[in-house]
Amino acid sequence: MPNPNQKKNHFLFLSPENCSEKIVISLTESVYSIGRHSDSNIKLYSEAVSRNHATLIRKDVGKDNSSYILIDGDLKGQRSQNGIVVNEKKTIYHQLEDGDIIMFGSSEIKAIYKQENALSEYFPFCDLNSKIQQNNIALSSELTREQLQNTLILSEENLNQNLSQKDIKRLASFPELSPNPIIEFDLNGKIIYSNPAANLCFSELFNEENITNPLIAGLTRNTNQINGELIIREIKIKDKYFDQYIHYLSKQNVIRSYIFDITKRKISEKKLKYQAFHDSLTGIPNREFFYWKLEQYLNNVKTNNEQLAIFFIDIDRFKNINETLNHTTGDKLLENFSYRLVSNLPEDCFLARWGGDEFTVIVPLKDNLPRINQIAQKIINSLKEPFIIKKYTIYVTCSIGVSIYPKDGLEEKTLIKNADIALFRAKQMGKNNCQFYTTQLSGEQMLLFELENSLYNALDNQELFLNFQPQLDLNTNKISALEVLLRWQHPDLGVVSPSKFIPLAEETGLIIPIGEWVLETACLQGKKWQDLGYPKMVIAVNVSVKQFQQDNFIQQVKNILHKTQFNPEYLELEITETILMQNVDKTEIIINELSQLGVKFSLDDFGTGYSSLSYLKRFPFNVVKIDQSFISDLAINEQDQALVSAVITLAKGYKMKVVAEGVETDNQKKLLKQLKCDFIQGWLVSKPFREEDLLAFLNKLIN
């Protein structure tokens, strides 16, 4: 039996603003969901609180104690709208400590987390609290230990009241008819009374030597401790779990106990705990579990002065596999990949799925550094055999990044980050290899690494915004179109150019959600300006290769047009030659189908790729954009002049408009006019604008 004096009890004191009442919740379960959702275990009634705002997970600390981890959002990784703040610091993951002050959403709902130590204070207290929570009654004053003690003693004294025969009969039927077992035994462990439910439930136990009977064990010797008090303990008998409420009746010198079967609750708790710490696809431990384990491993190696390695493993080109085959095959591959890792790792290693196609491993080393290469090589070699999934034979390789405690870091976070940096190097070295962490990542590599890491949150953190660059119609001198140019307001690095992060977004697959966001936001803007009465202008949106190649691109554009109610006639999609060349037939279908809706297409950066002018004939482009590299030297380079002139003549023959990009000088504009170019875009007309500056610019033109 665990020493009850050591066990901590956990409470959450909730105090909604403008409300003098306090709600006290005794935390006994292993997982709590907190939020506005009707299924939440702890419901918070405030507009500022999300439906699944936060989650509490019990964490065992040492043998007898536990604490709670507070996570922003739910266990599926869905974050809350307004976040959580602990001790005035915004956080998404926090191990609670006694006295921590938590704000949910805004300052409207405040909670204080408390740990209470002594046994004698807790059970009656907990009981009261759970009632308070259920009935939503508020506890305005705190009950002291003495008050509770007195209540118990008073009720024992009440038993001495003169009761009528009728009363006694009625009272006697209570235990007899109770569906829950009740037993009474003396201080030697001899059973004095057991109700029918107890006889039914524990019939074999009553034949046993009483002292080893789990219902009695440990109680008779500790009577001093429980004298006059109610204690509760959890016991396990065969496969079942019970809460045993034990009450020592000092006058009669007997111990009475009420027993409740809690097996169902325990099983669902275990299931929840399992789900909270394991990845649902592969069944192996998840990221949270990894963090906890790493903490334990580190404590161990610190005391023993040993070394330890962290592996960061990533499947090479998984995104391609996932996109080329379908996602169920991708999932199956991840599952099989994780089995292969499990079967190739020594037993003392700890494997977890970090997320996506990334896995992490803790490798204890003691003093055996060569172990790292042995294990890494074993993993890499194990992938020489292909995976057979359905009808596919799939060959994969992986890259591994390694960091070592204590050389590369002392803390969990540093070690993980450095293993990740090492992985990045492994990828840059051509994949299918293992790299150790070194600080010698070049400035450019470091920047790319930082960018890639923070790009994952850019959309969620609303760090992306749009700029608009006008195109001037040289015949009418009016703005005919606006090109939408994406910008990223990086928290540390300032505004990052799309030429830096679009390639990263392509590589990581993030271009899909980002591209969708750009398109929708651009259409919304266009619609808004039209509704405000600005002259109708085409909104030109850049589309990247991956985005264009996704299976549902046509549907995505249709959905966005429908949702934003933006007239398709004013939407222009800018695509590059690379898109055309990737899959000519597919591209033709997409362009044709969207053209039928009225959507326009322009061929961007014309002249920089390898495509011949014959592409112009095959695809129904509305616009050709001549790349700025041909414009910058236009005045001095006769070849450029000849090419620009040829493109303009040809495009006009196909009834396509020509836009010259990157026009910076009056001289360039004059030459382009002479060459019969109809539209120009560039700093001469204006730099790309933020919305408010654009409107000021347009207003000046109108007035």
234 forms beta bridges with: 243
CB 685 within 8 A of CB 472: yes
Query: Which listed residue (316, 574, 577, 640) binds Ca ion by CB under 5 A?
Result: 574
In three-state secondary structure terms, 135 is helix
- Residue 276 or 486 having the CB closest to ligand C2E: 486
- Residue 289 or 553 having the CB closest to ligand C2E: 553
* Shortest Cβ 602–Ca ion spacing (Å): 8
Phi-psi domain of 18 (left: phi exceeds 0; alpha: psi -120 through 50; beta: other): left
Using CB atoms within 10 Å of the CB of residue 691, give its burial: 0 to 12 exposed, 13 to 18 middle, 19+ buried.
middle
Q: Which of residues 25-64 bind ligand C2E (CB under 6 A)?
A: none
Binding partner of 498, given ligand C2E, Ca ion, none, CB within 5-8 angstroms per partner class: ligand C2E
Binding partner of 398, given ligand C2E, Ca ion, none, CB within 5-8 angstroms per partner class: none
Q: Which of residues 280-299 bind Ca ion (CB under 5 A)?
A: none
- Residue 349 or 663 having the CB closest to ligand C2E: 663
Binding partner of 475, given ligand C2E, Ca ion, none, CB within 5-8 angstroms per partner class: none
Does 459 help bind ligand C2E (rule: CB under 6 A)? no
Q: Where are the alpha helices (DSSP H) in 606-659?
A: 614-618, 628-632, 638-653
Residue of 385, 331, 348, 269 lying closest to 27 (CA atoms): 269
Does 572 help bind Ca ion (rule: CB under 5 A)? no
Q: How is the chain split among helix, strand and coil, in percent rounded to 5?
A: 40, 25, 35
Encoded tokens for 269: 């708790």
In this structure, what are the phi and psi dihedrals at residue 251, rounded to the nearest 5 degrees? -65, -45
Residue of 194, 197, 423 lying closest to 316 (CA atoms): 423
Query: Which listed residue (282, 544, 602, 668) binds ligand C2E by CB under 6 A?
Result: 544
CB 144 within 8 A of CB 131: no
Does 469 help bind ligand C2E (rule: CB under 6 A)? yes
Binding track, positions 309-328, relative to Ca ion; x by CB under 5 A = --------------------
Query: Which listed residue (275, 497, 565, 699) binds ligand C2E by CB under 6 A?
Result: 497
Does 499 help bind ligand C2E (rule: CB under 6 A)? yes
**Distance (Å, whole) CA 570 – CA 536:** 8
CB atoms within 10 A of CB 164: 8
Encoded tokens for 325: 């085959």
Binding partner of 235, given Ca ion, ligand C2E, none, CB within 5-8 angstroms per partner class: none
Query: Which listed residue (213, 542, 544, 668) binds Ca ion by CB under 5 A?
Result: 542
Backbone CA torsion sign across 114, 118, 120, 123: positive
Binding partner of 48, given Ca ion, ligand C2E, none, CB within 5-8 angstroms per partner class: none
Encoded tokens for 349: 């290693």
Query: Which listed residue (593, 605, 664, 693) binds Ca ion by CB under 5 A?
Result: 605
* Shortest Cβ 568–Ca ion spacing (Å): 19
* Shortest Cβ 619–Ca ion spacing (Å): 17
Our CA angle for 21, 22, 28, nearest 5°, is 150
Does 526 help bind ligand C2E (rule: CB under 6 A)? no
* Shortest Cβ 688–ligand C2E spacing (Å): 5
Q: Which helix (H) or strand (E) covers residue 496, if one does?
A: strand 494-496
CB atoms within 10 A of CB 424: 22
Query: Which listed residue (103, 182, 375, 502) binds ligand C2E by CB under 6 A?
Result: 502
Does 624 help bind ligand C2E (rule: CB under 6 A)? no
Binding partner of 67, given ligand C2E, Ca ion, none, CB within 5-8 angstroms per partner class: none
Residue position matching structure tokens 């016991």: 235
Encoded tokens for 505: 């977004």
CB-closest chain residue to ligand C2E: 682
* Shortest Cβ 317–ligand C2E spacing (Å): 21
Q: Which of residues 637-696 bind ligand C2E (CB under 6 A)?
A: 662-664, 682-683, 688
CB 647 within 8 A of CB 606: yes
Which positions lie near ligand C2E, rule CB under 6 A?
A: 469, 484-486, 497-499, 502, 518, 542-544, 604-605, 628, 662-664, 682-683, 688
Which positions lie near Ca ion, rule CB under 5 A?
A: 542, 574, 604-605, 661
